[in-house]
Chain A
Amino acid sequence: MDLSSFMDGLSLSLQPINIMWIIVGGFLGTIVGMLPGLGPATAVAVLIPVTFGMSPVSAIILMAAIYYGAMYGGSRSSILLNTPGDGSAIAATFDGYPMARKGQAGPALAISAVASFIGGTIAVIGFIFLAEPLANFALDFGPAEYFLLMLLTLSAIVVLSIGKMVKGFLAMMVGLALSTIGIDTQTGVYRFTMGIPQLSEGIDFLIVIIGVYAIGEVLYNLLNIDQMKKEKKKVGKVWFSKEQWKRSVWPILRSGPLGFVVGVLPGAGGSIASMIGYTTEKQISKRSDEFGEGAVEGLAAPESANNAASVGAMIPLLTMGIPGSGTTAVMLGALIMLGLRPGPLLFEQQPETAWALINSMFLGNIALVIINILLVGVLVKILDTPAKVLYPIIVLLAFIGTYTLSYSTVDFFLLLIFGFVGLMMKVLDFPIAPLVLALIVGSDMEQNFRMAVLSSGGNLGVFFSSGVSIALSILTLLSLTYPFIIRMIRKRKQHLNSKDQVYRSS
């Protein structure tokens, strides 16, 4: 770790204006994250326009605060309404909601905030020590390694769409197809622009992101808008007992590093981290029978894991420019728009920006734990705001955000098209993250592929020419075959079990 860059980053993030953005972002993110159906990706996408006109450092600090705020917010609605704000908050419903039903909403909210804080802090410490070595390692990457890394990221995110891999691949292909629209940077050939000048620079992925996440989510939520019930919750005392703390502390400390590691892996996000955290605790707990009935450790563990994962997910984004999840993909888009190019060179050329962001994660966690404990009553009131009023406002914010990207209403039509695409994808159960990720990395992936082939004189062996490229190729192959291997093992186990039963019964 470069101590002087670290201190520069710390002093930047401690500037009063940036502290203010951490608090504002944390608060706004918590609010959007609390709204059912709107997760961190939507929160960042909808609030991108708020960063316009700001310095890049303040903007990324604000976006990170929105991200973590939304992670906290997602759990609020899980605990109080049994409605997770996003996938990573699902595990919080298992024991958080039963706690709230038992009249322990206050302790549940408090333990979730503290667990998130500790998990996030553990991950920030991991980040401080891992980010720079990883960035230095990434500096040795050539076009072939970058192409393979992007391929691994895409395959990992598709494979994680468990049970809907074909749809994941299709979403990825559509995203890659969209990424080819515009001028080919290596040859200057116009591709699929259909004579429309606005398409010569390609489709702005932020429009796609805002469309599929914000408009798509709102349209999808219109499906059940008349069935949405308002449920007022009493919060009661907002702190936990000594006994509850004793039961939670080890699950929190165990799940933090676990979540961080899962978060660093491309494609594996908060949802997987929180589920792993939950199931691990359930397996090792002496009170496993209480899980699902309001066991405090069943809430603390996934909360610690998912916040740690959200910090971990920033590592591949900042050090290699590879977003590992839908939310980090949205953030990558926003960072590029701000003139920042995440990747190994970020730490070389703008170390203070990178370190300011890392420090702001820690400060953001402190701000969020305070916001979420002190303002629980206020935040809960937001859940009383009718969805029928909120959704039109979100649609409007999406339009304003799109307009501010290029000051052209032509983009409104694209926004509506992608909003409808987002709705259909949700209705037909297509994963959205592969589409967004493929659209973002697609162009770079193609260019790196072609550069690698060009530099090797057309020899495809370039993709197996170094230790890193061989390792990445093996990992990609493993990630693609993993579900089939698991299925085969399960089938074999079932077959053996049934044979055993037949043998015993005879």
Chain B
Amino acid sequence: MKAIKLGFPILLILFSIVFLIASLQLPKANLGNSNAPIYFPAGISVFMLLFGVIYLIQELRTLHEENGDIRQMLSGRTPKLIGITILFGLIYAFIFERVGFLLSTFLFLGGLLFVINGRKKWLVNVIVAVCFSFVSWYAFSQLLGVSLP
């Protein structure tokens, strides 16, 4: 838990440093003030760095305090659920255009339902996956004229 409480502000501080360096290395403009595109992002990164440090100090002061959400996120099957949802999303992104909307959506939704709703409710999962895939395909591509693969 402490790693997450401290890791996030450190990540923000690193992000602001990288963003500041990248801002200062932006190409110069050919029109008007050559540094004009640099000022705003550089200014933002300085403020971000400042607030990032304040946030880190705040977290250090309250490091011993319990955060129920972080504990919940790391306990039980929650990490698995979050990880699988993101993993299925990535797989969906890869297969969406290759196998088409209907099949990929059925596999994605069905897979998510099996993981979240459980295997015991397989019939509900299959019915929802089939019906919702078809209904969403019909609504978007036929009724709303959205071009789907």
Partners in one complex: yes
Query: Which residues of A have CB within 8 Å of B96?
Result: 403, 409, 412
Question: Which of B73, B89, B136 gathers most chain A CB within 10 Å?
Answer: B89
A/B interface sample: 18 pairs, CB < 8 A: A170-B48, A173-B47, A173-B48, A180-B40, A187-B29, A188-B31, A189-B28, A189-B37, A191-B37, A223-B72, A393-B128, A396-B136, A397-B136, A400-B140, A412-B89, A413-B90, A416-B93, A429-B69
A396 and B105 contacting across the interface, CB-CB below 8 Å: yes
Whether B17 is near chain A, meaning CB under 8 Å from some CB there, is no
Nearest neighbor of A223 in chain B, beta-carbon distance: B72
Q: Is the interface of B mostly helix, strand, loop or mixed?
A: helix
A396 and B132 contacting across the interface, CB-CB below 8 Å: yes
- A423-444 vs B, CB cutoff 8 Å, 1 = contact: the mask equals 1101111000000000000000
> Could you tell me the distance in whole angstroms from the C-beta of B49 to the nearest C-beta in chain A?
9
Whether A224 is near chain B, meaning CB under 8 Å from some CB there, is yes
B47 and A407 contacting across the interface, CB-CB below 8 Å: no
Whether B123 is near chain A, meaning CB under 8 Å from some CB there, is no
A396 and B31 contacting across the interface, CB-CB below 8 Å: no
Known A423-B82, A424-B8, A454-B32: A191·B89 in contact at CB below 8 Å: no
Tell me the bound Cα distance from A190 to B15 in angstroms.
19
Question: Which of B5, B22, B93, B136 gathers most chain A CB within 10 Å?
Answer: B93
Known A49-B140, A170-B52: A392·B78 in contact at CB below 8 Å: no
Query: Which residues of B have CB within 8 Å of A54?
Result: 144
Query: Which residues of A have CB within 8 Å of B31?
Result: 186-188
Q: How many residues does chain B have at the interface if contact means C-beta atoms less than 8 Å apart?
A: 67
Query: Which of B16, B89, B113, B146 is within 8 Å of A52, CB to CB?
Result: B146
> Could you tell me the distance in whole angstroms from the C-beta of A389 to the nearest C-beta in chain B?
6
> Could you tell me the distance in whole angstroms from the C-beta of A249 to the nearest C-beta in chain B?
41
Known A189-B26, A396-B108, A396-B136: A49·B146 in contact at CB below 8 Å: yes
Whether A177 is near chain B, meaning CB under 8 Å from some CB there, is yes
> Could you tell me the distance in whole angstroms from the C-beta of B67 to the nearest C-beta in chain A?
8
A386 and B76 contacting across the interface, CB-CB below 8 Å: no
Whether A419 is near chain B, meaning CB under 8 Å from some CB there, is yes
Nearest neighbor of A393 in chain B, beta-carbon distance: B132
Query: Which of A166, A225, A386, A450 is within 8 Å of B36, CB to CB?
Result: A450
What are the 5 tightest A-B residue pairs by CB atom distance, in nearest-first order?
Answer: A187-B29, A412-B93, A392-B112, A173-B48, A388-B117
Nearest neighbor of B109 in chain A, beta-carbon distance: A396
Query: Which residues of A have CB within 8 Å of B130?
Result: none
Known A184-B29, A426-B69, A427-B73: A392·B55 in contact at CB below 8 Å: no
B109 and A393 contacting across the interface, CB-CB below 8 Å: yes
Tell me the bound Cα distance from A129 to B4 in angstroms.
51
Whether A391 is near chain B, meaning CB under 8 Å from some CB there, is yes
Nearest neighbor of A411 in chain B, beta-carbon distance: B93
Nearest neighbor of B90 in chain A, beta-carbon distance: A416
Query: Which residues of A have CB within 8 Å of B15?
Result: 174
Q: Determine the interface band of chain A, counting residues with CB < 8 A from chain B.
A: 35 or more
> Could you tell me the distance in whole angstroms from the C-beta of A417 to the nearest C-beta in chain B?
9
Complex interface residues of chain B between 20 and 47 (CB less than 8 A to chain A):
22, 26-33, 36-37, 39-41, 44-45, 47
Query: Which residues of B have CB within 8 Å of A127?
Result: none
Nearest neighbor of A227 in chain B, beta-carbon distance: B72
Whether B116 is near chain A, meaning CB under 8 Å from some CB there, is yes
A391 and B116 contacting across the interface, CB-CB below 8 Å: yes
> Could you tell me the distance in whole angstroms from the C-beta of A32 to the nearest C-beta in chain B?
15
New A-B contacts (5) at CB < 8 Å, excluding given A166-B55, A428-B8: A53-B144, A176-B44, A187-B29, A412-B92, A424-B8
Query: Which residues of B have CB within 8 Å of A169?
Result: 47, 51
Whether A118 is near chain B, meaning CB under 8 Å from some CB there, is no
Complex interface residues of chain A between 41 and 73 (CB less than 8 A to chain B):
49-50, 52-54
Tell me the bound Cα distance from A186 to B32 in angstroms.
9
B37 and A170 contacting across the interface, CB-CB below 8 Å: no
Query: Which residues of B have CB within 8 Å of A174?
Result: 12, 15, 48
> Could you tell me the distance in whole angstroms from the C-beta of A188 to the nearest C-beta in chain B?
8
> Could you tell me the distance in whole angstroms from the C-beta of B47 to the nearest C-beta in chain A?
6
Query: Which of A177, A389, A424 is within 8 Å of B41, CB to CB?
Result: A177
Whether A222 is near chain B, meaning CB under 8 Å from some CB there, is yes
Question: Which of A192, A428, A454 gathers most chain B CB within 10 Å?
Answer: A428
A166 and B51 contacting across the interface, CB-CB below 8 Å: yes
Complex interface residues of chain B between 55 and 92 (CB less than 8 A to chain A):
55, 58, 67, 69-70, 72-73, 76-78, 81-82, 85-86, 89-90, 92
Complex interface residues of chain A between 233 and 291 (CB less than 8 A to chain B):
none
Tell me the bound Cα distance from A20 to B26 in angstroms.
51
Known A176-B44, A396-B136: A409·B97 in contact at CB below 8 Å: yes
Whether B134 is near chain A, meaning CB under 8 Å from some CB there, is no
Query: Which of A170, A192, A392, A416 is within 8 Å of B86, CB to CB?
Result: A416
A386 and B117 contacting across the interface, CB-CB below 8 Å: yes
A166 and B146 contacting across the interface, CB-CB below 8 Å: no
B81 and A222 contacting across the interface, CB-CB below 8 Å: yes
Query: Which residues of B have CB within 8 Å of A386?
Result: 117
> Could you tell me the distance in whole angstroms from the C-beta of A413 to the nearest C-beta in chain B?
6
A180 and B27 contacting across the interface, CB-CB below 8 Å: no
- B116-149 vs A, CB cutoff 8 Å, 1 = contact: the mask equals 1110000010001000100010001000111110
